């Protein structure tokens, strides 16, 4: 099973030392208990290893495999091969490709790059993407994705949809991507039809 894994600056995860190109094995695997953990969705890796001081690799899990659940792509495997190190740009690119692979492109889709604009989609299994400054992405169909990657962007969706948010450091024309996070609209912690932004590392409800 192919996936993506985050590490600290020393290529360690929970004090275990990994090396690119090596294979590792444990006796069993159970999510959040034992085994080697990784995510099928590249963007979910940011929840465990944010961009500031982290490293990212493609991995291959095998042997005993245990998954977190329907709405979480975290996986534990008894065997893991550490593939190529892809860095932050590679993980973001892989995340975009992962999102695209889940979208039914026969349904309506919208991408927007304009300043203070809104990308809206009403189709099921669809995506709305916005990269403009102070812009928004919104989805109303089932199992859809609202991706807002611009500076001071925001996103909202119906219950069961995913929001992808970015946080930037900006100063006099300088921009640095600090974090990208994906989060499920569960209707409880993250409300449906409510805009959220990523501010100081936290998913925050906004106007």
Burial classification of residue 157, based on how many CB atoms lie within 10 Å of its CB (0-12 exposed, 13-18 middle, 19 or more buried): buried
Can you give the pLDDT at residue 108?
A: 44
Can you give the pLDDT at residue 75?
A: 93
More confident: 24 or 89:
24
Neighbour-count burial for 128-143, b at 16+ CB within 10 Å, e otherwise: bbbbbbebbbbbbbeb
In this structure, the answer to whether residues 114 and 43 fall within a common structural domain is: no
Pairing status of strand 162-171 against strand 145-148? parallel
In this structure, the answer to whether residues 74 and 118 fall within a common structural domain is: no
In this structure, the answer to whether residues 114 and 76 fall within a common structural domain is: no
Can you give the pLDDT at residue 68?
A: 72
The Cα–Cα gap between 112 and 135 comes to 9
Please give the residue range of the domain that contains residue 142.
Answer: 103-205
- Give the total number of structural domains in the chain: 2
In this structure, the answer to whether residues 110 and 196 fall within a common structural domain is: yes
Per the structure block, which two tokens stand in for 130? 């916005």
Task: Report whether pLDDT(46) > 90.
Answer: no
The Cα–Cα gap between 176 and 182 comes to 19
Can you give the pLDDT at residue 20?
A: 98
Task: Report whether pLDDT(27) > 80.
Answer: yes
Give the residues across from 166 on adjacent strands.
Answer: 180
**Mean pLDDT over all residues of the chain?**
83
In this structure, the answer to whether residues 135 and 60 fall within a common structural domain is: no
Positive or negative, the Cα torsion across 96, 159, 123, 193? negative
Query: Do 20 and 84 meet the contact criterion of CB atoms below 8 Å apart?
Result: yes
The domain boundary, picked from 101, 133, 158, lies at 101
Mean pLDDT, range 91-105, rounded to an integer: 69
pTM: 0.59
Task: Report whether pLDDT(107) > 60.
Answer: no
Structural Rg of the chain based on CA atoms: 17
Task: Report whether pLDDT(137) > 60.
Answer: yes
Can you give the pLDDT at residue 119?
A: 66
In this structure, the answer to whether residues 107 and 197 fall within a common structural domain is: yes
Per the structure block, which two tokens stand in for 180? 């990208």
Q: Hunting for tokens 């969705």 — which residue is that?
A: 41
**Which of 44-48, 52-56, 67-71, 137-141 has the lowest average pLDDT?**
67-71
The domain boundary, picked from 101, 136, 162, lies at 101
Mean pLDDT, range 143-157, rounded to an integer: 84
Pairing status of strand 55-69 against strand 72-85? antiparallel
Can you give the pLDDT at residue 105?
A: 47
In this structure, the answer to whether residues 20 and 90 fall within a common structural domain is: yes
């Amino acid at each position: 099973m192919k996936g993506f894994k985050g590490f600290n600056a020393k290529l360690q995860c929970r004090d275990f030392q990994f090396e690119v190109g090596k294979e590792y094995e444990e006796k069993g695997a159970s999510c959040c208990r034992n085994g080697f953990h990784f995510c099928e969705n590249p963007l979910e890796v940011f929840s465990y290893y944010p961009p500031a001081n982290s490293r990212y690799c493609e991995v291959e899990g095998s042997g005993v495999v245990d998954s977190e659940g329907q709405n979480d792509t975290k996986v534990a495997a008894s065997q893991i091969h550490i593939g190529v190190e892809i860095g932050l740009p590679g993980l973001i690119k892989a995340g975009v490709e992962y999102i695209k692979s889940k979208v039914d492109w026969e349904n309506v889709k919208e991408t927007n790059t304009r300043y203070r604009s809104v990308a809206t989609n009403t189709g099921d299994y669809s995506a709305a993407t916005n990269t403009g400054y102070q812009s928004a992405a919104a989805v109303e169909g089932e199992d859809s994705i609202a991706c807002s990657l611009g500076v001071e962007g925001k996103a909202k969706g119906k219950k069961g949809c995913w929001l992808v948010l970015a946080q930037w450091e900006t100063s006099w024309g300088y921009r640095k991507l600090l974090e990208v996070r994906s989060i499920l609209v569960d209707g409880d912690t993250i409300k449906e039809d409510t805009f959220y932004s990523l501010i100081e590392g936290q998913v925050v409800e906004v106007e």
